[in-house]
A and B are shown apart, each in its own frame.
Chain A
């Protein structure tokens, strides 16, 4: 398999994607290249000096096509939420490029970025913490309309009621406060708020993990309906692999700040190439004792290493059953092993 020449050969950490998004970037709404987000660790009382960095996201490349859902999975602390926030410039990325519809977001100033935010929104994990308890539902959903000068007065009220209807709530709830709603209903309010500015792209950061089992399916269905109706593009961040399979067109698996595998949904779930993806899939319990008792599980030993001081070479080698000498020395490249199926592993395969 031929390899591409790196576009930035000077940067040793630069991860390469063969036939990257650049070739057909007309379809791509979002292009992320070598995105890094490091949080400094400081010491000292008066003079803070930096003693290290949490390398939460350490060089990820991917693209999101218009109208698709890209699922981003991984264990807690692997940097998936940080990736989502760094894309929306809620954190200032340490390095790398984020191109949204051809515009480089990392170079935009405050006012320009604020205008861009109209086109990209976020749905948060915790419906209890992400709604201001002192604002009425009407104000919560109406605020983005005012900020972006989209509607005011009577028009705003009508728009808010319309949005409530769209997410399956009673339009007369506008004067109620968040505490009067259940978790699932609050998540619907959060979704209505994100939809208010008619965005094209929504980062869904674990939108259902705080909800009850029987409510999760309701919210997933709502997100899918809205996607069809408003032609939305999603980056869907979650740790539940079965939910991600259901909702995503393509899936990226993250481990310790890097994407280790990225493929179309079917390819990833049926032929995972990276050992970490294989272990993750085998760890998901299946609600059927007939399957569960016979299934062989790959049980990983140990914990996820610290992102302050990640292992040398391949970051997964400390827990990998396939690891050889080379894995601890050379960081494997992110290579397209099959069409549209990338993985970063020295020994990929089933």
Chain B
């Protein structure tokens, strides 16, 4: 496994609060090859952002602490580095795009100052070089008239433009890995489409590895090669993207797919929500974390926690953490599509896609614009 860019082993990140120890990330392991895109999906509080912050060693200490595990990045353990070494990686080899472009830029510094800082620090460029490169980067992420705007302050940019600035900043040192934490959640749909399009093209062009963290299954569907679903501080399902959506093997994933209305499907008479609340991570359920909300649960689910193992009737790298769907379980033969309330067959989906209307052309059906 020498070719892996990132290998996370048994990561435990905890927060020590007055009410008790919050096990925000509780034994997460995954790996990522160079140039690969990975999606981490889950609800708020499931530990996906804390996982990303742990990779960058950005967990506030105290109250937080990475208590166990290893993070091998490019052959070195991030958790064993001293502060200077970590600083050499942050922004340089691993960059991060945050959720909220309104608060993650410094309001009193110009855009040029903020992007050049990393270039001067990590790549040892001089001022004029860094400025030139900054303008190139802003051009690259599609900021119009970059030359003029480079000396503007963040408040002079709109939300979508600020997110582009953040992306330019993340790309500035040509990192091997970019962590994008809910990069489009604060944006409107049309702007979200622009930013996702940009990220997709950049990932292809630069062969940068991406970890895309989001709660929106729609966003990861079009963007990633593999998906990990997180729930209650643990990864509960791992699969490649097509496999996860075609053949999910964890009742929580079924629940997620079932509870969101989809634009391309017939309208359902009623949504089927996941009942109950996400687990309290100070005192998580003793068995499967999803057991209290799971409609397929049996006694074993409450008593013993299932491991993340390969699931029968699925692709070799498809793993899930569920007693029901693993070898010998009672959900092995359950047709998830029926459970999800989706009665369409794959063939039908393919036909519908083929029949999608072509791109609208300017000037078709121009009824005379009448005025009285």
Interface flag for B246 (CB, 8 Å): yes
Interface flag for B270 (CB, 8 Å): yes
Interface flag for B332 (CB, 8 Å): no
The answer on a CB contact under 8 Å between A217 and B349 is no
> A residues near B, CB below 8 A?
1, 3, 5-6, 75-76, 182, 184, 212-218, 220-221, 224, 239, 241-243, 245-246, 265, 269, 275, 278-301, 303-304, 321-324, 326, 330, 332-333, 337, 346-350
* B130 CB, min distance to chain A CBs, angstroms: 27
Specify the chain A residue showing the minimal Cβ separation from B217: A287
A333–B370 alpha-carbon span in the complex (Å): 9
The answer on a CB contact under 8 Å between B263 and A286 is yes
Please tell me the size bucket of the interface on B: 35 or more
Which of A212, A246, A287, A332 is in CB contact (< 8 Å) with B278?
Answer: A212
Specify the chain A residue showing the minimal Cβ separation from B368: A346
A37–B35 alpha-carbon span in the complex (Å): 50
The answer on a CB contact under 8 Å between B346 and A246 is no
The answer on a CB contact under 8 Å between A283 and B259 is no
Question: Which stretch (B8-16, B23-31, B72-80, B356-364) binds chain A?
Answer: B356-364
The answer on a CB contact under 8 Å between A330 and B264 is no
Say yes or no: A269-B263 contact (C-beta < 8 A), given A75-B189, A299-B197: yes
The answer on a CB contact under 8 Å between A292 and B222 is yes
Say yes or no: A303-B371 contact (C-beta < 8 A), given A245-B267, A286-B218: no
Q: Which residues of A contact B352 (CB under 8 A)?
A: 291
Interface flag for B305 (CB, 8 Å): no
Q: Which residues of A contact B328 (CB under 8 A)?
A: none
* B361 CB, min distance to chain A CBs, angstroms: 9
Q: Which residues of B contact A184 (CB under 8 A)?
A: 277
Specify the chain A residue showing the minimal Cβ separation from B354: A294
Interface flag for B268 (CB, 8 Å): yes
The answer on a CB contact under 8 Å between B267 and A214 is no
A317–B49 alpha-carbon span in the complex (Å): 39
The answer on a CB contact under 8 Å between B221 and A285 is yes
Given contact pairs A213-B216, A242-B260, A299-B197, a sample of 16 additional A-B residue pairs in the complex whose CB atoms are under 8 Å apart: A5-B372, A75-B191, A76-B188, A215-B273, A216-B259, A217-B259, A243-B261, A283-B192, A285-B192, A287-B260, A289-B245, A291-B264, A299-B194, A303-B158, A323-B362, A350-B365
Which of A214, A281, A350 is in CB contact (< 8 Å) with B274?
Answer: A214
Which residues 325-372 of B sit at the A interface, judged by CB distance below 8 A? 346, 349-350, 352-353, 356-360, 362-367, 369-372
Most buried by B among A239, A283, A294, A333: A283
The answer on a CB contact under 8 Å between A347 and B273 is no
Interface flag for B271 (CB, 8 Å): yes
* A249 CB, min distance to chain B CBs, angstroms: 11
Q: Which residues of B contact A321 (CB under 8 A)?
A: 360, 362
The answer on a CB contact under 8 Å between A239 and B188 is yes
A173–B216 alpha-carbon span in the complex (Å): 32
Q: Which residues of A contact B367 (CB under 8 A)?
A: 1, 337, 347-349
A304–B161 alpha-carbon span in the complex (Å): 12
* B108 CB, min distance to chain A CBs, angstroms: 23
A242–B190 alpha-carbon span in the complex (Å): 14
Which of A283, A290, A291, A347 is in CB contact (< 8 Å) with B190?
Answer: A283
Give 28 A-B contacts (CB < 8 Å), ordered by A residue.
Answer: A214-B255, A214-B259, A217-B259, A221-B270, A239-B188, A245-B267, A246-B268, A265-B267, A280-B189, A280-B190, A283-B193, A284-B263, A285-B192, A286-B218, A286-B263, A287-B262, A288-B221, A288-B349, A289-B241, A292-B218, A296-B356, A296-B359, A303-B161, A303-B191, A347-B362, A347-B365, A347-B369, A349-B365
Q: Which residues of A contact B190 (CB under 8 A)?
A: 75, 279-280, 283, 299-300
Which residues 214-240 of B sit at the A interface, judged by CB distance below 8 A? 215-219, 221-222
The answer on a CB contact under 8 Å between B272 and A217 is yes
A280–B277 alpha-carbon span in the complex (Å): 32
The answer on a CB contact under 8 Å between B353 and A295 is yes
Q: Which residues of B contact A330 (CB under 8 A)?
A: 369, 371
Say yes or no: A213-B215 contact (C-beta < 8 A), given A218-B275, A288-B349, A346-B369: yes
Q: Which residues of A contact B358 (CB under 8 A)?
A: 296
Which of A214, A303, A337, A350 is in CB contact (< 8 Å) with B360?
Answer: A350
Q: Which residues of B contact A295 (CB under 8 A)?
A: 353, 356
Specify the chain B residue showing the minimal Cβ separation from A297: B193
Interface flag for B256 (CB, 8 Å): yes
Most buried by A among B190, B241, B257, B272: B190
A133–B193 alpha-carbon span in the complex (Å): 37
Q: Which residues of A contact B245 (CB under 8 A)?
A: 287-290
Which of A3, A269, A296 is in CB contact (< 8 Å) with B370?
Answer: A3
Interface flag for B136 (CB, 8 Å): no
Specify the chain A residue showing the minimal Cβ separation from B252: A214
The answer on a CB contact under 8 Å between B261 and A245 is yes
Q: Which residues of B contact A1 (CB under 8 A)?
A: 367
